[in-house]
Each structure stands twice: as structure tokens, then as C-alpha cells.
């Protein structure tokens, strides 16, 4: 099994890395760690995004309460995931899978469908089968990730899986929404993180979302192996539908989305990058893509170029066609009830009363190999931090003036291929 052995630390700046092993598109914000040469124009404004490092959990952030080695892993020599809380012995022949609880998200209790008679007890043991609503912090060797099982997940049916990668200098905690995004200039975005966890808890969600942690809070092309290891690990604790495995991310996490999804499109059946990308030279199998960005994001041009490389790799023909306009009249349940609210819920956009919903305009290439499609969505950027921070506001795309939860629209897009 593929294992990378790395450590993680918290850093309080955001960089947009180059289209290389070191990151996505664009250049560093003033005051941030310099990025490799990228495709985006230099951005003006305050320092890059970052947040307080940390594990976000309350009691037992990493590890259970101790005790004997877990039994949830595979037997010796199988290369699976051995159980084991702190102080316990891992399963022979497997990799340590250490569990712990994450801070309560405040979402409603799990709601298992009435027609499902399988009962899985809640657990923070990373080797135990996932129950609806479980949230765990786990390890694969020295690599860390957070697992969130949608509260509406149906244990009686195969379940979809989404891996969601944070941006450069950010953390898994910020991506899942247990910590705020804050820049070095004390500009903060206090919302739902990426919004993938919130979407998984909706009536139309019900999937598993995984939030991995990068080396020194960054991603390189070699981290594609870590993403594949996570898929393998999830198959040991849930009935993962192999045709419903997806990858998403923002900025440097968008770079990782392309670097993982394109060469491994036999494993990942859809990509949903935000504000970042990387050239897709070929695909193992045609793959659906929905990309989100907003001008004046400093990574916009590079991301658009990356998206067009997927159009080419999928052998799409013809020009893009108008697809969707999401605004205050839309009845799709893809908007947040509020932009800066950790307790926001996902609702039809025409039910948002907290602010005016500005348009998100999407176009689509719908004549591609094997019936896949490629979509590009221009989102109305956040403007609340002033003109000097316009590029940074546009880059942190999860909070936008469309009040759009981009994962919800991505999920709607992925389900078109079921």
C-alpha cells in the first residue's frame, strides 16, 4: 500500500503555489511565503490566509482511551488498517488507524432512513464501521485526516466518498469548518469551511467526506498516493460505491485535485476544484469536472487554463453552452442561509433572506467521451473586505456574494452521472 511519512504543522499565511509539485496556480499574497512561479498575476492586498493550527477536537483529539490493539484492521500480512487507541497495539500487518473525537459541529442528530434496519453504533475508533454522523480524526502511518460521515448516510446502501483538500498553509480543521480562515492581516472568514461536511448532512447528501492534512500544510503531486490510500482505508470501514468516489479542494488543494483525479480517473469519478488547478495532460478514463472561480482571483487565469486541459483530455467537441445561473430566484438547494455563520444550513437559493444572492453563471461542455461533461462556474466574489483585499476575497471562494455553497452545486453535478 502507498504510504508517505510526513509531519504537519500550523502556519498562519496563505500562498497560491505554482503549477508544479509545490502547489496550484498564482503567486503569494504580500506578506506570505513566496510561491513558486505561477500562472496568475501577483495579487494585492493583505497577507495570505491562514488560521490557528491545531486539531480542533475536544477530549481525545487523536487516539482513543487506550487499551488493547483494535480488531477492526485486517489480519497480519493483509496491509489493511489495524485498530488501536493510544497505548494499544495496532493490528498485525496493518497501518495504525488512531481515532479521536472532533468538536461537535452543532448539526442535527443523524437521521437513518426508515427502511434501513442496519444499526451501526457511533464510534470514534478509526477501525470501526462508520455510522451516520460519525466524525473521527485518523492516521495512516504518520499522515492525518478527518472523516465525516453524513448524518443522512444510509448504511443499507453503498455510499459515495468525497476527499476535500485544504489550500496551502491551511489545515484540515479549517477545511471542515471547525476553525475559521484568518489572514495575517486579521481578516477572517467565519463560515462552514469548504461546506462539504454541511452538504453531506443534508437530505440529498448522505455521503462520506474526508479532509486530509498536507505536509507543512501544503500539497505536492506525490500526495496523490495519500489520496489513494485514503480511498483504500475508507473501503475497510464503509461500503464505498467505486463509481461514486470524488475529489475536491481549494487553491493548492485544487492543484491536488487535478494531480490526483486526472491520472487516477479510474478511481476518482469526478473533480470539483475551487480557485486553483494544474494541467491535465491525460486521463485514464474520461472524468467529469466542475470548476469554480471568481475574478479578480489571482489564480483565475491559471485555473481556467487547467479546466480547458480537461476539456481537451476528455475529447469534448464544440464550444461551451450556457448551463445554469444561480441567483435569488433559483430553487436549487445549493445556497447557505448566511455567508459568515458557522451554523448556516443549505437551502434553496430563493429562500435566502440574509443577503441579496448575486449571480453565479455556469457554462458546460456536454459532448465529451463516454458522456462526461465539463462545467465552469463564475461565482460572484466576496467583497466585504474592501478593494485592497479583492483578490484575496475572490480566492477564498467558499464565502462569496452568491451565498453559493460550491460543494452543493458540485454534488448536484456529480449526481448527473449516476
**Calpha distance 418→411 (Å, rounded):** 11
Q: Which three cell numbers stand for residue 302?
A: 491559471
**In terms of domains, do 86 and 120 share one?**
no
**In terms of domains, do 214 and 82 share one?**
no
**In terms of domains, do 176 and 207 share one?**
yes
**Calpha distance 372→315 (Å, rounded):** 10
**In terms of domains, do 141 and 273 share one?**
yes
Does residue 11 form part of some domain? no
**In terms of domains, do 232 and 359 share one?**
yes
**In terms of domains, do 405 and 257 share one?**
yes
**Calpha distance 276→26 (Å, rounded):** 8
**In terms of domains, do 116 and 239 share one?**
yes
**Calpha distance 159→176 (Å, rounded):** 19
- The pLDDT, as a whole number, for residue 9 is 29
Residue ranges for the chain with pLDDT beneath 70: 1-114, 184-185
Kindly give, in sequence order, each residue whose CB lies less than 8 Å from that of residue 82, ignoring residues fewer than 6 positions away: 69, 70, 72, 73, 74, 90, 91, 92, 93, 94, 95, 96, 97, 127
**In terms of domains, do 69 and 137 share one?**
no
- The pLDDT, as a whole number, for residue 19 is 42
CATH number of the domain that residue 306 is part of:
3.40.50.1820
- The pLDDT, as a whole number, for residue 122 is 97
Contact indicator for 56, 179 with CB cutoff of 8 Å: yes
**Calpha distance 126→104 (Å, rounded):** 17
**In terms of domains, do 274 and 162 share one?**
yes
**Domain enclosing residue 70, as ranges:** 64-94
- The pLDDT, as a whole number, for residue 384 is 87
**In terms of domains, do 83 and 147 share one?**
no
Does residue 270 form part of some domain? yes
Q: How many domains does the chain have?
A: 2
**Calpha distance 148→59 (Å, rounded):** 17
- The pLDDT, as a whole number, for residue 201 is 97
Amino acid at each position: 500500500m502507498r504510504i508517505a511519512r510526513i509531519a504537519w504543522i500550523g502556519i498562519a499565511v496563505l500562498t497560491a503555489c505554482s503549477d508544479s509539485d509545490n502547489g496550484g496556480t498564482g503567486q503569494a499574497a504580500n506578506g506570505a511565503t513566496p510561491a513558486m512561479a505561477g500562472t496568475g498575476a501577483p495579487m494585492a492586498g493583505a497577507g495570505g490566509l491562514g488560521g490557528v493550527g491545531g486539531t480542533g477536537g475536544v477530549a481525545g483529539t487523536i487516539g482513543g482511551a487506550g487499551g488493547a490493539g483494535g480488531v477492526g484492521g485486517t489480519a497480519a500480512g493483509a496491509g489493511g488498517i489495524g485498530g488501536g487507541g493510544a497505548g494499544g497495539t495496532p493490528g498485525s500487518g496493518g497501518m495504525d488507524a488512531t481515532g479521536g473525537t472532533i468538536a461537535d459541529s452543532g448539526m442535527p442528530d443523524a437521521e437513518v432512513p426508515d427502511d434501513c434496519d442496519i444499526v451501526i453504533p457511533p464510534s470514534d475508533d478509526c477501525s470501526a464501521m462508520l455510522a451516520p454522523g460519525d466524525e473521527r480524526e485518523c492516521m495512516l502511518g504518520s499522515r492525518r485526516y478527518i472523516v465525516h460521515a453524513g448524518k443522512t448516510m444510509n448504511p443499507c446502501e453503498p455510499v459515495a466518498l468525497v476527499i476535500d483538500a485544504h489550500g496551502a498553509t491551511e489545515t484540515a480543521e479549517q477545511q471542515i469548518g471547525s476553525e475559521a480562515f484568518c489572514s495575517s492581516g486579521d481578516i477572517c472568514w467565519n463560515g462552514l469551511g469548504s461546506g462539504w461536511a454541511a452538504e453531506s448532512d443534508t437530505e440529498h447528501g448522505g455521503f462520506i467526506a474526508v479532509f486530509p492534512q498536507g505536509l507543512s500544510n501544503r500539497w505536492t503531486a506525490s500526495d496523490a498516493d495519500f489520496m489513494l490510500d485514503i480511498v483504500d482505508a475508507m473501503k475497510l470501514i464503509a461500503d464505498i460505491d467505486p463509481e461514486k468516489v470524488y475529489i475536491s479542494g481549494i487553491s493548492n488543494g485544487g492543484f491536488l485535485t487535478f494531480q490526483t483525479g486526472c491520472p487516477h480517473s479510474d478511481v476518482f469519478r469526478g473533480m470539483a476544484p475551487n480557485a486553483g488547478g494544474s494541467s491535465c495532460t491525460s486521463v485514464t478514463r474520461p472524468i467529469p469536472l466542475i470548476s469554480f472561480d471568481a475574478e479578480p482571483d489571482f489564480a483565475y487565469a491559471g485555473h481556467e487554463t487547467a479546466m480547458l486541459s480537461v476539456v481537451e483530455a476528455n475529447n469534448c467537441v464544440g464550444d461551451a453552452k450556457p448551463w445554469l445561473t444561480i441567483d435569488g430566484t433559483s430553487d436549487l438547494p445549493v445556497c447557505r442561509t448566511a455567508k459568515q455563520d458557522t451554523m448556516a444550513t443549505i437551502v434553496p437559493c430563493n429562500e435566502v433572506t440574509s443577503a441579496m444572492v448575486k449571480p453565479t453563471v455556469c457554462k458546460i461542455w456536454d459532448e465529451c467521451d463516454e458522456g462526461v461533461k465539463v462545467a465552469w462556474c463564475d461565482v460572484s466574489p466576496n467583497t466585504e473586505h474592501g478593494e485592497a483585499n479583492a483578490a484575496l476575497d475572490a480566492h477564498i471562494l467558499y464565502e462569496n456574494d452568491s451565498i453559493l455553497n460550491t460543494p452543493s452545486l458540485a454534488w448536484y453535478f456529480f449526481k448527473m452521472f449516476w
